[in-house]
């Protein structure tokens, strides 16, 4: 049995580490990463971790055609492009580990995958899981959403580490929503911190962000309880509260620096999914008339160049109303 991982970034490599009791092939476009993994058993982007002999890398998608399990850890906006290039008619088991929503179609990533490839089973892995900590075998708990419980059990058996725990959910859409939207609110949290608005403001912002996430999820008939779990609230707390979060760091940087075009900042750092996801969510919320003022403010700051402080102060001074979850 062979496991394929689409994506040679830190998350794909962290997954390879915890799956390495089996044969694992990592697909990466960067030839330097492929060479480093094959010759030195390390990914230069992933600190403090090395691979065993079961892990190899390739820049050829052809080598993933016969894998039993395909883990997708690509940037969300690259998934369609890579899967169309992969050209596999039938994959046994697909596990989506990427977080985001496709901008061009406003579709969830499982819908994008469903359009391109045939598969036997599809699952979604999401939750509070920084790559460096997972690769160091530090305690981590995540949600694995599958349509059938037996598929959850089958995938769980691939990971022998007791420090990486997976909890079952049948809610694929809700699990994706939590993982995608929390990146937007991490940017808002970072902006709040960068503007020195204080811990009280940041706490209020995170709390009301969670309300927006559940409101969005209900519109798509996701189980509200999913959002209270690891892939929703758990991931939101981690991403908004830690300086290890790329999205939080992005928010801090744009609040404390002068950038004419935030896309320039995006190019200077690792993939910041929230920057792209907010565009997709903004379009979806307008089409479906979902009230999401925090998300809308982040969108206006990033794409319409609204004043950062004015937007956040406006949010914190919205008219008094009943608090609802």
Reduce the secondary structure of the chain to three states and give it as a string.
CEEEEECCCHHHHHHHHHCCCCEEEEECCCHHHHHHHHHHCCCCCCCCCCCCCCEEEECCHHHHCCCCEEEECCCHHHHHHHHHHHCCCCEEEEEECCCCEECCCCEEHHHHHHHHCCEEEEEEEECCCCHHHHHCCCCEEEEEEECCHHHHHHHHCCCCCCCEEEEEECCHHHHHHHHHHHHHHHHHHHHHHHCCCCHHHHHHHHHHHHHHHHHHHHHCCCCHHHHCCHHHHHHHHHHHHCCCCHHHHHHHHHHHCCCCCHHHHHHCCCCCHHHHHHHHHHHHHHHHCCCCHHHHHHHHHHHCCCCHHHHHHHHHCCCCCCCCC
* Closest to 213 in 3D by CA, of 234, 233, 239, 240: 233
Of 99, 182, 202, 253, the active-site residue reads: 182
- Over residues 137-179, the pLDDT tens digits come to 999 999 999 999 999 999 999 998 999 999 999 999 999 999 9
* Alpha carbons 174 and 104: distance in angstroms, whole number: 21
Which tens digit of pLDDT belongs to each residue from 127-148?
Answer: 999 999 999 999 999 999 999 9
Amino acid 311: pLDDT: 82
Residue 15 has what pLDDT?
97
* Dihedrals phi, psi of 250, to nearest 5 degrees: -60, -45
What is the pLDDT at residue 294?
94
Pairing of strands 2-6, 164-169: unpaired
User: Residues of the chain whose pLDDT is less than 50?
Assistant: none
CATH 3.40.50.720 positions along the chain are: 2-170
Instruction: Output the six-digit token pair for 167.
Output: 């909890």
Are the beta carbons of 71 and 4 closer than 8 angstroms?
A: yes
pLDDT value at position 314? 76
pTM over 0.85: yes
Give yes or no for a contact between 237 and 129, defined as CB atoms under 8 angstroms apart.
no
Closest CA to 113 of 76, 151, 69, 148: 76
Pick the CATH number of 2-170 from 3.40.50.970, 3.40.50.720, 1.10.760.10, 3.40.190.10: 3.40.50.720
Is residue 182 annotated as part of the catalytic site, yes or no? yes
State the pLDDT at residue 299: 95
CATH of the domain spanning 179-316, picked from 2.60.120.1440, 2.30.42.10, 1.10.1040.10, 1.10.10.60: 1.10.1040.10
> Which position has the token pair 């003022």?
293
Enumerate the CATH 1.10.1040.10 domain ranges in the chain, comma separated: 179-316
């Amino acid at each position: 049995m062979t496991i394929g991982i689409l994506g040679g970034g830190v998350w794909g490599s962290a997954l390879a580490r915890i799956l390495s009791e089996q044969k694992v092939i990592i697909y990466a476009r960067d030839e330097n990463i492929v060479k480093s993994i094959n010759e030195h058993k390390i990914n230069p982007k992933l600190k403090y971790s090395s691979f065993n002999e079961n892990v190899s890398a390739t820049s050829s998608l052809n080598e993933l055609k016969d894998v039993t399990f395909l883990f997708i850890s690509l940037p969300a906006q690259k998934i369609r492009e890579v899967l169309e290039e992969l050209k596999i008619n039938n994959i046994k088991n697909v596990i989506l580990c990427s977080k985001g929503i496709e901008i061009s179609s406003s579709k969830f990533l499982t819908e994008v995958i469903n359009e391109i490839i045939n598969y036997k089973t599809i699952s979604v892995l999401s939750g509070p899981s920084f790559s460096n900590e997972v690769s160091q075998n530090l305690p981590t708990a995540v949600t694995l959403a599958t349509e059938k419980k037996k598929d959850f059990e089958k995938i769980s058996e691939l990971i022998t580490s007791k420090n990486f725990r997976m909890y079952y959910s049948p809610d694929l859409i809700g699990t994706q929503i939590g993982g995608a939207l929390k990146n937007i609110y991490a940017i808002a949290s970072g902006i709040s911190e960068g503007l020195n608005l204080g811990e009280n403001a940041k706490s209020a912002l995170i709390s009301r962000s969670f309300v927006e996430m559940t409101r969005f999820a209900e519109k798509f008939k996701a189980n509200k309880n999913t959002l209270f779990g690891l892939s929703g609230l758990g991931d939101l707390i981690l991403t908004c509260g830690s300086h290890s979060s790329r999205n939080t760091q992005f928010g801090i940087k744009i609040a404390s620096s002068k950038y004419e075009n935030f896309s320039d900042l995006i190019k200077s750092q690792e993939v910041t999914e929230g920057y792209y996801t907010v565009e997709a969510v903004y379009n979806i919320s307008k089409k479906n008339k979902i009230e999401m003022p925090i998300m809308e403010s982040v969108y206006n700051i990033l794409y319409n160049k609204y004043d950062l402080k004015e937007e956040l102060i406006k949010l914190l001074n919205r008219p008094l109303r009943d608090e609802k979850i």
